């Protein structure tokens, strides 16, 4: 444990950031649930997405001053979600053809004392609602976005699960539904998609579980209804449409690392000094810029060096890329 | 059928197809806003894809001509080989210019050249440029037909290198590249087999050929000409009043590969 530190800008007391009154005013909440029930009765299924109707507010620690948010339309139409196809425009089209993400339950298990299977909406209630965070998003393909996510810190979920001392890693498993999912009928990758974090990474304040973006529940193509967001790592670490979160003793096999270990490391920390075999990671194209917008330099740990660098102290990042 | 072949053989047809592909996949989506959230990336990939398939199609034409010398569609399309080859190079150059833009300037461009992936692309394209620049009568005269033909056989090196460039581009490109390589390799194999078999075969009669191809004297001057090498059949098929070439001996060198 660290001794007392000076509070950093983002370390506001919980009451300021996650004011309970703001999220869980009992009457308002009941009213929302009531509306929700009513809505589920009359609205078409697509409008009844999980996590709809939860109030959220921007966590001022993650406002990202002076950074322009990526247009919502771009975030919703430029997706690497291989379950739906290799091209970036495919997930938008193909994941919205009858694939149901509501109701959705997620399993929390492995080496923890409080294993459970829980509905996503219930999970949000249990962890105390959602907040908004603007995060930089850097794809391993050297493009980037800035995304206003809604969700809750992964650390809350970890705390809820009570991992046992033997648990050293957290394994994330996405859905598996080849019947609806054309990509999963091919052998491009080993399905279902799996990702992993070390336990200290998972409990870092930045690790986030997203259930929405731009004030709306996650769209199917963005990993509805619940996904991982690890902003200091390349985007592929953020497993989408999670079905299972497990605490495991050893480094889990992760999809991209298994497929091409020389291209995609387990850590996959954003690092401008360690190139991909086919392209430089020193700079990135910002989605939403024009033809002649050029590139911007990529920041170490995607600009989150202060928050996460200590996790890798003494580690050779060239080796453990 | 006749008029269809005539259309296929027409220069205007070839040009409109070759330009049309670019218009359809690059220009139209650019003007209708269908390039997606990362338009330059889209253009980069589309242009590369067009370039490699254009190159693939020109490489398919020679073996097809040898394998099916009497198929008029094949002979008609073979008239456009120079145009198709030069077009492949132009789309390749376009692909390269999108790469320059994508890298955002000289620094990024130079940095990109630290990757073998880029060397293969650039190397293959360099060959295509040399071949495109020498795709004219003047170059043939200057170099001499034999040298010119030798030079233009580099197109196979370019194809190999560029298909490799495509194969390692990721994102399912390996599968596409495999198809392209497989098709071209089998065509070449069939073509080589046929050429070798024809060469080995002594002057015995081949009734089927005689029945099907009453084409008159072959290059050896044998009136009955029941056995014809693919080359001779080919020459005849190629011979059209408009494009007749000056020296008989030189003619075959105009079909480089």
* CB-based contact, A287 to chain B, within 8 Å: yes
Average pLDDT over every residue of B4-21: 93
CB atoms within 10 A of CB B120: 20
Q: Indicate if the pLDDT at residue B169 is higher than 80.
A: yes
Average pLDDT over every residue of B151-178: 92
The nearest alpha carbon in chain B to A186 belongs to: B172
Structure confidence at residue B237 (pLDDT): 41
ipTM above 0.85?
Answer: no
Q: Is B172 close to A188, i.e. CB distance below 8 A?
A: yes
In sequence order, the 6+-apart residues with CB closer than 8 A to the CB of B144 are: none
**Across all residues in chain B, what is the average pLDDT?**
82
What residue has token string 């620094």? Answer: B107
Using 70 as the pLDDT threshold, list the residues of chain A that sit under it.
Answer: 1-53, 55
Structure confidence at residue A311 (pLDDT): 96
ω into B105 cis (within 30 of 0):
no
- Contacts A–B by Cβ distance under 8 A: 57
pLDDT digits (tens, 9 = 90+) for B43-82: 999 999 999 999 999 999 999 999 999 999 999 999 999 9
* Token duo for residue B215: 């084409």
Identify the DSSP state of A119: E
Cβ contact A76:B37 at 8 Å: no
What are the contacts of B152-158 at 24+ separation with CB within 8 A? B152/B256, B152/B257, B153/B256, B153/B257, B154/B127, B154/B130, B155/B55, B155/B59, B155/B85, B155/B127, B155/B128, B155/B131, B155/B256, B155/B257, B156/B59, B156/B257, B157/B124, B157/B127, B158/B55, B158/B124, B158/B125, B158/B127, B158/B128, B158/B131
pTM of the model: 0.78
When pLDDT is cut at 50, 70 and 90, the band that residue B170 belongs to is confident
Cβ-in-10-Å burial (0-12, 13-18, 19+) of B186 comes to exposed
When pLDDT is cut at 50, 70 and 90, the band that residue B175 belongs to is confident
Q: How far is A286 from chain B (nearest CA, A)?
A: 9
Structure confidence at residue B200 (pLDDT): 77
Residues of chain B contacting residue A78, judged by C-beta atoms under 8 Å apart: 36-38
Q: Indicate if the pLDDT at residue B92 is higher than 90.
A: yes
Residues of chain A contacting residue B41, judged by C-beta atoms under 8 Å apart: 143, 285
Residue A209 forms beta bridges with which residues? Answer: A152, A228
* CB-based contact, A66 to chain B, within 8 Å: no
Q: Indicate if the pLDDT at residue B207 is higher than 50.
A: no
Q: Is B101 close to A291, i.e. CB distance below 8 A?
A: yes
Backbone angles phi, psi at A148, to 5 degrees: -85, 95
Q: Indicate if the pLDDT at residue B222 is higher than 50.
A: no
Residues of chain B contacting residue A221, judged by C-beta atoms under 8 Å apart: none
- DSSP H/E element including A75: helix A72-75
Q: Indicate if the pLDDT at residue B103 is higher than 50.
A: yes
Q: Is B108 close to A280, i.e. CB distance below 8 A?
A: yes
Average pLDDT over every residue of B110-139: 96
Structure confidence at residue A291 (pLDDT): 80
Mutate which of B26, B30, B34, B38 to disrupt the A interface (most A C-beta within 10 Å)?
Answer: B38
* CB-based contact, A282 to chain B, within 8 Å: yes
Structure confidence at residue A233 (pLDDT): 98
Structure confidence at residue A36 (pLDDT): 56
Q: How far is B45 from chain A (nearest CA, A)?
A: 11
Residues of chain B contacting residue A283, judged by C-beta atoms under 8 Å apart: 104, 108
CB atoms within 10 A of CB B190: 14
Q: What distance in Å separates the CA atoms of residue A117 and residue A105, rounded to the nearest whole number?
A: 7
Structure confidence at residue A5 (pLDDT): 57
When pLDDT is cut at 50, 70 and 90, the band that residue B104 belongs to is confident
């Amino acid at each position: 444990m660290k001794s007392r530190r000076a509070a950093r800008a983002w370390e506001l007391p919980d009451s300021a950031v996650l004011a309970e009154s703001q999220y869980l005013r009992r009457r308002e909440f009941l009213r929302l649930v009531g509306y929700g029930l009513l809505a589920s009765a009359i609205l078409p299924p697509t409008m009844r997405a999980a996590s709809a109707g939860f109030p959220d507010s921007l966590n001022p620690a993650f406002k990202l001053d002076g950074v322009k948010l990526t247009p919502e339309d771009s975030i919703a139409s430029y997706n690497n979600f291989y379950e739906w196809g290799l091209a970036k425009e495919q997930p938008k089209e193909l994941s919205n053809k009858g694939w149901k993400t509501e109701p959705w339950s997620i399993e929390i298990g492995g080496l923890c004392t409080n294993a459970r299977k829980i509905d996503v909406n219930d999970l949000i209630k249990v962890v105390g609602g959602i907040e908004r965070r603007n995060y930089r998003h850097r794809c391993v393909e050297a493009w980037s976005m800035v995304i206003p996510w809604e969700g809750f810190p992964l650390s809350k979920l970890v705390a809820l699960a009570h991992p046992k001392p033997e648990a050293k890693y957290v394994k994330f498993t996405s859905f598996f539904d080849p019947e609806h999912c054309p990509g999963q009928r091919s052998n491009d990758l080993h399905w279902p998609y799996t990702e992993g974090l070390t336990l200290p990474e998972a409990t870092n304040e930045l690790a986030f579980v997203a259930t929405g973006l731009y004030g709306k529940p996650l769209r199917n193509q963005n990993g509805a209804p619940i996904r991982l967001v690890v902003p200091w790592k390349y985007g592929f670490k953020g497993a989408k449409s999670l079905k299972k979160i497990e605490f495991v003793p050893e480094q889990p096999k992760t999809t991209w690392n298994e497929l091409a270990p020389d291209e995609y490391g387990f850590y996959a920390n954003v690092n401008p000094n360690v190139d991909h075999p086919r392209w430089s990671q020193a700079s990135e194209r910002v989605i939403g810029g024009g033809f002649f917008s050029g590139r911007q330099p990529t920041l170490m740990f995607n600009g989150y060096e202060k928050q996460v660098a200590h996790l890798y102290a003494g580690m050779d990042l060239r080796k453990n890329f | 059928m006749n008029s269809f072949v005539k259309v296929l053989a027409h220069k205007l047809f070839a040009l409109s197809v070759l330009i049309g592909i670019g218009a359809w996949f690059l220009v139209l989506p650019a003007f209708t806003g269908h390039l997606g959230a990362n338009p330059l990336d889209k253009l980069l990939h589309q242009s590369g894809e067009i370039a490699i398939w254009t190159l693939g199609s020109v490489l398919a034409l020679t073996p097809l001509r040898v394998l099916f010398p009497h198929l008029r569609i094949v002979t008609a399309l073979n008239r456009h080989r120079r145009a198709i080859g030069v077009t492949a190079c132009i789309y390749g150059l376009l692909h390269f210019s999108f790469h320059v833009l994508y890298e955002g300037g000289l620094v990024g461009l130079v940095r990109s050249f630290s990757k073998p992936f880029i060397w293969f692309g650039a190397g293959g394209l360099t060959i295509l440029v040399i071949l495109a620049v020498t795709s004219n009568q003047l170059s043939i005269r200057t170099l001499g037909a034999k040298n010119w033909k030798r030079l233009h056989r580099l197109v196979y090196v370019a194809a190999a290198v560029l298909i490799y460039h495509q194969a390692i581009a990721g994102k399912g490109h390996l599968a596409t590249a495999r198809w392209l390589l497989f098709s071209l390799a089998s065509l070449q194999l069939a073509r080589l087999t046929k050429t070798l078999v024809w060469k080995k075969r002594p002057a015995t009669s081949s009734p089927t050929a005689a029945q099907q191809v009453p084409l008159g004297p072959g290059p050896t001057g044998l009136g009955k000409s029941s056995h014809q090498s693919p080359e001779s059949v080919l020459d005849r098929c190629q011979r059209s009043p408009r494009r007749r070439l000056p020296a008989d001996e030189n003619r075959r060198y105009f079909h480089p590969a």
